[in-house]
Structure 1
Amino acid sequence: MNVVNDANNVICDYIPRPAARLDCEQSIHERTHMNSNPQSVLDTIGNTSLLALRHVVPSNGARIFIKLESQNPTGSMKDRMALAMIEAPERDGRLKPGGAVVEYTGGSTGVSLALVCAVKKHPLHLVSSDAFSKEKLDHMRLLGAKLTIVPSENGKQTEKLTRDMIREAHRIADETGAYITAQMENTDQLDAYTKMAEEIWTQTGGRIDGFVQSVGTAASLRGISATLREHDERVRIVGVEPAESAVLSGGPSGAHKIDGIGAGYVVPLWHERIADEIERVSTDEARAMAFRLAAEEGLFCGTSTGANVTAALRLAERLGPRATVVTIMCDTGMKYLKSFSQTLDAAS
C-alpha cells in the first residue's frame, strides 16, 4: 500500500530491506505530531498527508505522490507562507501588535492572510481582481479583510494586471503606513517551505527522485528545492508555468487562467538555479487534469494542481518505473466551483 497518511508516517512499502522497514515503523510510533493539541487554528497549519496516485499514473513510469495541502485550514498551501510572512515581522518588530497589513493577491494568499490576520488581530487590506474566483474573494471578506478590486481584461491574468495590483497595494501602504507583506519579493516565506520540504523528505523516507511545483511567487519551489537538494543533490527539480505565458522558459508574456501561477514576468524570487527544467502546461490541460483527478482519484483540486500533475506525469515517464516523483495539491477545488461549473455547462 503506497499511502502516507500524515507527516508522522513515512513510506515503508518500497523499502526492500526488513531492517529498513523496522526503522520506518519505529519512526511512526516514536515521532510526536506537533499539532496534536492545537491552541488555535494556526497550529493546524502544515503536517499534511502524502498520497500515492493510483489511477492517474503513467503506464511505465515513476510512482507519483501528491502532498495534500488542501488539508490546511483554508484548503491551501498558502496558509504556510501567510503565517511565516506575519510571524517573522512580528518577531523583529516590523509589524506591531494590532498593526495593519496590506497585500496584493490572486486569491489563495489573500484568504490565508485573512485567516492569519483574523486570529492575530491585524486589520487587513487586500488588493485583488475580478480575474480570480468569486469564492476566494468572498472568503477573504468573510474572514474580515477589506478588498480593493482591480478590473481585469475579460477575466484574464496578465502581466499588466499583476503590476497594477502591486502598484495599488504599495500606494495603500504608503498612504496608510500599513505593513506590506509583498509576497512577490518576501523572503520570510521561504522558511515555511523549508519546513514543508522536511515533511516531504521524512514522508518519503528520503526516497525521492523528482519534485514538481508550479511557479507563482517562486517561493515554494525555491524553498522546497533548496532543502531537498541539501538532502540529495540528485533530486530532479521541475518548475511549471502556463504555456500561454511561458516567460521562465523564454516565451512571451500572455494571458491565461491557471489561478495563482504565471505572473507574466520573471518574479524577483526566481533564479535559474532553482529548477533543472521548466514544463509548460496550458490552461486547458491544467483544467482537464483537475477534472480527471476529481473523477478518477477523488481529489477535487484547482488548476494549479492540474498543471502540477500534468508535469509530474511527464517527469514520471522520463524517470522510469523505479523512481518516485512528488508534487503538490496546492488547494481545494471548492474555491473554483463557479468557474468549473461554467466549463461543465458549456461542455454539456
Structure 2
Amino acid sequence: MKKIVVTCLFLLPILFILPLQGLAEDKKDDLTSEEIFNERMALYKKAEAHSHIPWYYYAAVDSYERGLRQARKDRPKEDGFIAIYIPQQKWVGELNPNEEDKYALSISFFDGFGRDGNGDGLADINNDEDILFSFAEHLTKFGSNEEDIRIGLWDYYQRDKAVELITGHAKVYKKFNTLDLREKSFIVPLHFNYSYKSTFGDARGWGGRRIHEGTDIFADHGTPVKSTTYGVVELKGWNKYGGWRIGIRDKDNVYHYYAHLSRFEDGIDRGAIVEPGTVIGYVGSTGYGKPGTSGKFPPHLHYGVYRDNGIIEWSFDPYPQLRQLEQKERKKKRG
C-alpha cells in the first residue's frame, strides 16, 4: 500500500505538468503572428523589469538564436515563444549527475545555468520564462550599460561576430520599437527597366576560377538600388571583385551583399539602420580592378545573400526570394 501511495505522489505532478506543456504548444500554433509578437514582447519586458537591461537586447539575442536554429541541423525548432538554445548539461551544471534536473535548488548547487523565472521552484529548460530569466541573470552579472552587455554576450558566446550581430539586431529593434519586422522590398523600383535570371553557381573566371554567389540584376546605369530588408549596414567601400559595394545584416543573421554600384546614397554609412525600400545606392559597372575601375562589363547589380550559423557563413541562391518579392510588389501595386 505504501508503494502505491508513493508512486501516486510521484506521478501526480507529471500528470499535471505534461498536459499544460501540450496546451502551451497548441496555443502557439493557434495564434496569429501579431499575437505571437505580443507574447514575446511581454516576456522581454518582464526580463527588462527584472534586469534593467532594455527589452530590445533580449529580442536581439532571441532573433540571433532563431536564425541559428534556421541555419543548423543540430538544433530543433523552438517549441515555445523563445528560441534561445542552452545545452542540457550547461543548464543543469557540468557536474550534475541528473541531466534532466529541473529543480532550481539542485541546479544552483551544481552551478548550472538554469534559474527559476516564474517562482514555481523549477528551472525548466523548456519554459520560456525560465530560459529568458536565466539569460538575464547571466547578463546582469556584468552590468546593464551597453559595454557591460557586450562583455556579457562575449562571455556567453565566445565569438566576436555573435556580439556584433546581436548588438546590431538590438539597434534595429530599438529604432523601430516593434518586433514585427516582416516587411520586405524588391531590390529595384518596378517602373525602371531591369532583367534577371537564376545565375547562382555559374562559373566565373576573373581573379581565378570561382562560382557566382548571387543573382545579377541588369539595369540602366544609375537605377536606384533598394534594401530588401530591415537591417544594419555592416560594410561599405571598395572590393576588387565587387567594386563599390554595401553589405547589410538582417535580424535573421543573413548578410545581403549589393555590388558593382556606381555610387552610394547619401547618409548610407557603416552602422546606418535601414528598412525595406531604403535607397542605398545606384546601379553601375564598377569592379574587377583597383578602386574606381569601371566599365569592364555592362551595368548591373550583383545581389548575394549569406547565412551565418554561429561558426561560418555560406552563400545561398537569392533568386527565389527575388521572384517572390517582385511578384508580391506587383500584386500590391495593382491593388
Give TM-score, length-normalised by structure 2: 0.25
Structure with more contact order per residue of length (Cα contacts < 8 Å, sep ≥ 6) = 1
Structure with more of its chain in strand, by fraction: 2
Structure index of larger Rg: 2
- TM (norm. structure 1) is 0.24
